[in-house]
Structures are given as C-alpha cells and as structure tokens.
Structure 1
C-alpha cells in the first residue's frame, strides 16, 4: 500500500502537535499512523485512498459503523439546524435521561458530562463525598481515563503516579488489586475497609486485552462494598449499551452497582460521558446537593439527539442481535485459526467485542475449550492458562503483536486496534463478507 500522503500529514502534524496526535494511542503504530479521510459502513478510507475493514470503530463510540441509520442522521441534522448549543436546558436531555433510567437496572438518576474521563473523575468525587472516606480501590492495569486518582502503577497500597505531573500524595488514596483475585479483594477490605470510599472496576477488563470476570468475582465486590459501607462503581464507558444490550454489562452479570460511569455509545459517536446511579447518590451533585459538578458542553443537544436516537433505533431493530451474531462467528472462526496455527494464543471477547491475545503458555489442544471466546469457564482445559488480569495480558507477546502482526493485517486491508490492549468492535454496519475477509487475513498474518 502507498502511504505517502499519510507520511506527509504526520510530518506536518509533528510540527504543531505533541507526537503528531491528539490522543497517544493513535501514534502507537510505527513509524507513523495512517490518516483517515472518511468512513464507509464498516470500512475506512485513508488519505492515500487505501480501504480497510474497520474493527477499531473510533475505539468504541460507534454502534452503526460510519453510516448512521436515517432516523439517527435526521435527528442530528435537526438539532444542528436549531443552533449549536444554548447554555440552558433542552428537552432532549430529559428524554435521553428518561431512556437510560428506564433501561439500565441500577440507574435512577443521571448527570451527563463530556467524556468518560470526566465521568470517572466525578464518580470518584461523589463517592468520597457520600461516604466521607478517601481511598478508591482500582484494578491493576485497569483504565478509567486520564485522571489523577486512577493513573497509578504498583501493587496494593504501594502505588505511585504513573505519569509525571501527578503529586505523589494523590496515589496515597488509591489501592490497586489484581482483577479476578477474590483473595486480594478480601484482604484490601480487611486492611483498609473503614477508609475505602469505593471500588471502581470495569465489568469486563476492556482496555487491557479483554478479560472477563471469573464466576462470582463481581458478587464478591458487591458483598464487600455493601458490608463495609463503601460504594461499587461500574465503569461502563466501553461496555455500556454494547455488552448486555440496553441493560449494559451490569444487566448481563446481574449486578447492581451504586454508581455507573458511561461514555462512547451513550453519545452516538459524539463527545460524551455520564454518571448514573441511585437517586440519593446522584442528587448529591450541585445544584441539588453540595458536590460540585458542572460543564459548559454537558448535555449538548446534538450529542443527546445522537445518543438517544441511536439507542432507540437499536431497541426497535434488533441491532444488538445482529452485532452479537457476527461477533460470535468472528470469534469462533478465530478460534479455529488459532487452534491450527498458534494454539498458545487466546481468543477473547464476548458479544460485540473481540481480540486475539498473543499469550505464551497454553495447552496444545483446543479440545473442550470455551466456544466463542474465553469465558473463564472453570472446567475448560485452558482455564489455568487464560489471562485473568492485566498482568497476564501484559506478559504476552505485545511487541510482536504491534510491530509485526498489526502491520501485516493493515497491509491486507484490516484495521485493528493500535496495540494488544484495546478492544475491537463489531458494529451493525459490518457484514458476513467483512468477517470472512478478516478471518482470511488472520490466517495469513498468523
């Protein structure tokens, strides 16, 4: 493929933007990323005219690929024609809030914000205010946006900021435990229970290679937080309205968190975030309560229209069924390829998300394995080998994935997430042909 124009654009970008990008992951591919010119259904076309099957889908905000259903597009255009924004409430905010509270089991009240990061920042502030405690428990390697509370590295209560510019004292209030480790969860509450304001967890570890919970893990977190007076925060920025349909991952797993953070799909492809939960908690935000939270663009009418109409259309047209069927076919096909060519690798994902993890150690046979992606089934012969947490994923062949495999897939016209850790997404725009072409590319690349 020719990438001359992308190279020239990246050269220009380096002169005016740090690293030539506005979000770090976009520059993960070496020596430079391709620049996208436009989208077309389940595909993107780059600045040099190269066409790719797109499984990145904006890193998660797109349910319909790059061609919106006509009712969604009309709703967006109508709002734009009425004016960009007003600094005053609009009816569409109320309608969107009503839709979310009807469908998500734990959400009685919601505050819209502008990004997933803003949502998790506000959720931590709210949890601390509501409990009168300071410490937040997070999962090692989990990602909750570019915020000071959760940007930490280390283990347990021996953590430090993972980025310069964050005071060391901030990390003193963060406790990091491995995902899926019930013993570690019990220990942290035994040692620090009276000081813990909340546990913040992705229901599926979706920014670290896609790791599903072992049976009973979320129930353990729910019981520990309730017993200690702490709050359980589900970060559903990625899983929200993608896993578990309109009930989100909490509906799939049958867990009611106290607070839920949203982003991506709740805005229909436009910048968005939200914090939802029990009314007595969410109403502690100003102006009904004293926990300060505000934003000029919060509840932006165009975003609200895009998010609401996108989810309405999904509810009325079996969109999730189509996506989940394609996802199942894709993961099943990948398992067949991996079983034949790289049995040490792990196919991960569920419903509309997928990933092949370049793990190093596994049985040589796939006999009796979890079908359609690793589901942490205890009687699966690969159970002891499949990744259970972020450290397990990081121990894989991450450099090989990024430096060799990604480029080979790209040359075959398949656009995958820029590193081993980010999820990949099936959308309503993808087709059977997209799945078959992608599987053939995996055969060649592996």
Structure 2
C-alpha cells in the first residue's frame, strides 16, 4: 500500500498538534493513515487505500458510515435551521424520553458533550448526593480523562497515573480487581461509610473485553445497598450496543443507581449523558445543588442524530442484525485461534469482539464458542482474563507491532492496541466478516 499522502499530512500535523494527533490512541507507529471518507463498513484513506473498518469511531457508528435517509435528513434539517441556540429544543426532550423509556434504571437524563464529561459529572453527583468523598473503580478501567479515575495502584494505595493531577485526588479513589468479590467486600468492610459510589463498566470494554463472572454485579449492587453508596454503570461503550435498547444493564438484569452514556446515544456526534433515578438526577442544578452546566449540552444536531439513529435501530431490528454478525465473527475467530494460536482468547458480546493474545494455553474445548463468557464449566475458564491485570499480561507488543500492521496490510482497520474493542456495524455484511476472517488467518 502507498501511504505517501498520509505521511505528508502527518509531517504537517507534527508542527501544529502535539504528537501530530488530537487523541493519543491515534498515534500509530510509525505514523497513522489519514482518513478521507467513510463508505458503509469501510474507510478510505488519503492515498486511496480502502479498509474494512471495525473501529467504527471507537464505537459510536452503530449504523456504519452511510447513514439511512431518515437519519441524514434529521441531521441536515437541524443544521440548516441554525447550529445552536442557547435554549432548550424539543428534540432533546424526545431523546431523553427514548432513553428513559428503554433503559431499565433511567427515569431522568442530563445530556452533556462527551463520555468524560458524563463520568466527571456522575462522580460529582454521587459525592454531592451521599455527602461522601471516596469512589471505588476497577483496576485498569478507563472512565475518561478525569482526575478522579486517572489513578494507578491497588486498593487505597493509589497515585495519579498522569502528571498534572494532585495526589489528593488519588487519595479518594480506591481500586479493586474486576471480578474479585472478596476484595471488594473487604474494601467495603473497612471503608464502606466513606464510599460515595462504585463506578464500573458492566463489561470491561476499554481494557480488553472482560465479562463479569456470575454474581459479581449482584455483589456490587448488594454492597452499595447495604452501605448507602451509589452503583454507577459506565455504559459509554456498552450503551445501546450490548443488550440492545435496554443496554448492558438490561442484559445482565442489574439496575444501577446512575448510568453514564456516550457514543451511540449521539449517533456519531459529540455527546455524553447521565441517567438514573429522578431523586438522584434531580440533585443537578437547577433542580438541586450539585453544579452541572454546559454551553453545548443538548446540542440540537447531536440530539437529532442520536434520536433518529436509535429510532431507526429499533424500527429495523438493527441490534439483531449486528449481533448476528458479531457472533459470526467471534465463532470464526474461535475456530481460527484453535488452529493457529490456541493460547489466545476470543472475547466480546453482541456486536463487540476482540482477540486477546493471552499467554496461557487453553485447557480443552472452548465451551463459550462465541466469545468468553466466564463460564465455570468451560475447560478454558482458568485461562480466560478475569480483570485488567490479566489483559496486561497478554502479548501487547506482539499485538501492536506485528499483528496490527499485518491486518492493516490485509486491508482491515482495527483499533491499534490490545485493549480497545472492535465493533461491527449495520453497514457490514456477511461477506465482510468472511473477508476479515481470511485476513485473521493470514495475520495470525
């Protein structure tokens, strides 16, 4: 493949943008390719190279790059009527009603502009509602670029994971291993009266794709109830992708107190949202005293894109379509891995998928078939990643430096590291999945 134009653009970008990019995950070695346009389930770069796209904007593009007419029309109409107003619009009410009607735990919604802004606001809300300062997060989890969760360490022995964050922020954050019930129970026994909230993804989606073991979320729910803490589900990735319109909480049958959203709920435009029980969400100003505000919150173009995307998905059985394709991908990958690299683990759910380059060999037939589900009956159960640390021990350098470039040369665009998920969209076809699987055979 020729990448001369992308190289020229990157050279220019280095002079005006730190690292030549506007998000650190795009800093692919030796340099990223620059996308010119999307086309259904593909992207085309500045040099005319065409790739099967399983990044899908890191998750927001449930429908792919070619939006259905009703979604395009809604976006174009809103943009033509004026970019924004500094006043409420009907469409933001309609999108909030859609979310509240379909997501089990949500009665009220506050829209913001990113997943980071949603989790920042949710943490502030939990602290304001409970009058407590400490929050519990999963080790290795990512909840956006916010000071309270950019921490490293174990338990109460945490420190900021980035320069520029005061140590005092980390002092209020407790980290626990995902899927370790005994560990989190011990944390609550010691600090329960100080804990404002547990913040977790229902499925770890930004540090590999790690399913909860059976009963783990129930334990978190019970602990929060017993100690008067809030359970916050970060569904920025899983929201309206896992579990269809009920999201991952509906799939797992757990109702958190607060949920954060992003990505799909904005239809591919910048968005975030915080939803939950009315008595909690009403603590936001102006109804309550927990400050939250934003110039671009509830932006009419974003609200229209999100509403029409979700309406189209509900009316056209999109979730069943993409979930079938996701299962086809994971089943095919399971067969390939069994022959080419049996120590690796295929993970994912619904329209998410990934191959984690785990180092421990599987101990027999994989009973999950379509992605690891943490089933104790599976002979591979002990070898499957249970938390972020398990994913960290995978062959991340091999994935990034050998496998990802090989897939790119095969014309398949994946997220450029071992951790972030891949996504299937409604624009993909069964033929696309088969083409991708052939590329995996070559690259593995």
**TM-score for both structures, normalised by structure 1:** 0.99
Please name the residue that 2:15 is paired with.
15
Please name the residue that 1:411 is paired with.
409
1:61, distance to aligned residue in structure 2 (A): 0.8
CA contact (8 A) 1:343 1:364 kept: no
1:370, distance to aligned residue in structure 2 (A): 1.0
Equivalent residue of 1:261, what SS? Answer: strand
Please name the residue that 1:229 is paired with.
228
1:433, distance to aligned residue in structure 2 (A): 1.1
Q: Deviations over 1:352-390 (max 9, x none)?
A: 00000000002254x242110000001100001100000
- Alpha-carbon distance in structure 2 between the residues aligned to 1:223 and 1:146: 29
The 5 A counterparts of 1:214-363 are: 214-363=213-362
Name stretches of at least 5 consecutive residues in structure 1 with no aligned partner.
none
The correspondence for 1:389, drawn from 368, 377, 387, is: 387
- Alpha-carbon distance in structure 1 between the residues aligned to 2:301 and 2:187: 43
- Alpha-carbon distance in structure 1 between the residues aligned to 2:228 and 2:429: 47
1:78, distance to aligned residue in structure 2 (A): 0.7
CA contact (8 A) 2:363 2:379 kept: no
- Alpha-carbon distance in structure 1 between the residues aligned to 2:363 and 2:89: 58
Q: Does structure 1 residue 143 correspond to structure 2 residue 147?
A: no
CA contact (8 A) 2:363 2:380 kept: no
Structure 1 residue ranges (4+ consecutive) displaced by more than 4 angstroms after TM superposition: none
1:287, distance to aligned residue in structure 2 (A): 0.4
CA RMSD of aligned residues (A): 0.6
Equivalent residue of 2:314, what SS? Answer: helix
Q: Classify 1:264/1:368 alpha carbon distance in 2 versus 1 (closer, same or farther; 3 Å).
A: closer
- Alpha-carbon distance in structure 2 between the residues aligned to 1:174 and 1:33: 35
Equivalent residue of 1:255, what SS? Answer: coil
The 5 A counterparts of 1:29-44 are: 29-44=28-43
- Alpha-carbon distance in structure 2 between the residues aligned to 1:90 and 1:377: 47
1:395, distance to aligned residue in structure 2 (A): 0.2
CA contact (8 A) 1:363 1:381 kept: yes
Q: Does structure 1 residue 106 correspond to structure 2 residue 102?
A: no
- Alpha-carbon distance in structure 2 between the residues aligned to 1:363 and 1:17: 44
- Alpha-carbon distance in structure 2 between the residues aligned to 1:383 and 1:392: 13
The 5 A counterparts of 1:26-175 are: 26-27=26-27, 29-175=28-174
Q: Deviations over 1:53-88 (max 9, x none)?
A: 000000011111100011011100110111000000
CA contact (8 A) 1:260 1:275 kept: yes
Matched residue pairs, number? Answer: 444
Name stretches of at least 5 consecutive residues in structure 2 with no aligned partner.
none
Equivalent residue of 1:260, what SS? Answer: strand
CA contact (8 A) 1:55 1:417 kept: yes
Q: Deviations over 1:259-308 (max 9, x none)?
A: 00000000000000000000000011000111000000000000000000
Please name the residue that 2:441 is paired with.
443
CA contact (8 A) 2:343 2:359 kept: yes
CA contact (8 A) 1:368 1:380 kept: yes
